[in-house]
Structure formats: C-alpha cells, structure tokens
Amino acid sequence: MFLARVVGDVVATIKHPALAQRKLLVVQPLTGDGQPTGRPAIAIDSVDAGVGDHVLVLDEGNGAAQVLQRPRGPIRTVVVGVVDEVDRA
Amino acid sequence: MHFALVTGTVVCTAKVPSWRGHRLLLMQPTDPHGVPQGKSLVAVDLVSAAQGQRVFYVRGREAANALPDPDNPADAAIVGIVDDVRAPGAPGAGGGSV
C-alpha cells in the first residue's frame, strides 16, 4: 500500500465491464514527508474519497478483489482509506 | 492503472493462441495531462482503442484477468478509453479539465 493525494478523476465511457459503475480517481503517490513522487496512477474508489483527500492506496489484485467483493479481474489499484493523520517518529 | 497514448498497432501472425481475437497495441505511457513518461510498451487491447487515443491500462497478473480466459500470458492490457481527466488546479487546465 502507499500514501497518495487524490488529484483528479477520470471520465471513461468505454471501459472494461469490470470497471462499470466504478469511480476512477487519479492518485499522486507521496513520500513519507508528503511530497509528490513518481507517476500518478488511476485507482478505483471504495471509500468515497474525493479530490484533495490524502488516501491509502492498495496495489495488489487479490486484495483489490476482496475489497470490491468481486471475483479476481483486471483491477489491482484501489483506494482503501482516507488518511486522517500520519504520526512519524 | 496508468495513462497512455496509443502510438501504433502490432501485427503478429504467429502469436500465443490465448491472445487470438485480440489486438496488440503499442503505447506510450503518459502522466494525466498526456505528457510522455517512460518507455513504450505493447498491451492487449480490450476496448477497441485506436491510434492517437488516450487510454488507461493495467499491468501485471491483472492484465491477463482482463481477457475472457485469464489463462494467458498478458502483462499489460488496455481497459479503458479516457474521455476526460478532471483535475482542479492542473497545469494548463484553467482549473477545469485537462
């Protein structure tokens, strides 16, 4: 899992049937310090996250299927939490 | 999943039988604004994408799962065509779509 910031969402009329009715969010991965790092990804929303939210993102297919309560499909990246706070030692 | 731009079609007469009936497209990964990022790759097309279209693709084991029979060796699959990316405050977006 990684921490990220939701920076947008994607509108896609034509998509794989497994993605039908799913909200697609653009997430920018963050370093531990909260700085943007690497390439933004597209994640399926499971927690009603929105633009500007600090989120926890899962990037693994089996876990994604469990979270979305569906058989294994072409989905691996899912927003699984909205981060309230990160306490760092 | 990641953004990409379709840059070409790959035609293979001889290919893995489990990919029969699916097209292979060459694509250039991009950021959400369409700026190229990283190396080109070939992906199995599930959405009848065309050259020049902005798409998104899934990598890894989940790419094979995108085909009707998941018992195939795909490591990248195009699973959607981008109509619009709405990113408030994005560079050049004027606070709206990119």
Q: Which residues of B touch A26 (CB under 8 A)?
A: 32, 85, 87
Measuring CA to CA, which residue among A51, A54, A44, A49 is closest to residue A84?
A: A54
Whether this model's ipTM surpasses 0.95 comes out as no
Tell me the fold of A2-82. OB fold (Dihydrolipoamide Acetyltransferase, E2P) (2.40.50)
Task: Calculate what percentage of chain B has a pLDDT beyond 70.
Answer: 90
Do residues B9 and B24 make contact, with C-beta atoms less than 8 angstroms apart?
yes
Query: For residue A27, what are its two tokens?
Result: 């997430």
Question: Which residue ranges make up each domain of chain A?
Answer: 2-82
CATH 1.10.30.50 correct for B2-81: no
**Which chain A residues have a beta carbon less than 8 Å from that of B85?**
8-11, 26
Q: For A61, which of B29, B62, B82 is closest by C-beta distance?
A: B62
Residue with tokens 């979270």: A67
Share of chain A above pLDDT 90, in %: 93
Average pLDDT over residues B70-86: 96
Give CA–CA dist A80/A75, Å, rounded.
13
Tell me which of A5, A72, A76 to substitute to probe the interface with B (most B C-beta atoms closer than 10 Å): A76
* Residue B26 touches chain A, beta carbons under 8 Å: no
Evaluate whether A36 touches A28 at the Cβ level (below 8 Å): yes
Domain segments of chain B as ranges:
2-81
How do residues B42-58 score in pLDDT, each as one tens digit? 999 999 999 999 999 99
Q: Identify residue A35 by its one-letter amino acid code.
A: Q
User: What value does the CA radius of gyration of chain A take, rounded to a whole number of Å?
Assistant: 13
Closest chain B CA to residue A73: B65
